[in-house]
Amino acid sequence: MARNMFNRPCYVCGLIVDAGTGHFERHNGGWRTKHAVYPGDGRVTCAMAAQLQASTRLALAQKDSQP
């Protein structure tokens, strides 16, 4: 597998894989993208992406609730 060059959804978890943080692979005549299996060197796993998305949502909710 090679590093992805474009932002695309992960076929495992459905979250966006930012360019350069995951991998792409050939599948059924096309390409599919997924998060990295192991973290490190700028790679992001599905669990890390889910945690980041949850913390971003929480921060936005807290910001919106402040007067």
Q: What pLDDT is recorded for position 19?
A: 93
Going 37 to 9 to 25 to 41, the CA torsion angle's sign is negative
The Cα 16–Cα 31 span in angstroms is 15
Whether the predicted pLDDT of 67 surpasses 70? no
pLDDT band for 17, please (50, 70, 90 cuts). Answer: very high
With 80 as the cut, is the pLDDT of residue 50 above it?
Answer: yes
pLDDT, one tens digit per residue, over 2-16 is 899 999 999 999 999
Predicted model pTM = 0.75
CA 53/CA 16 separation, integer angstroms = 10
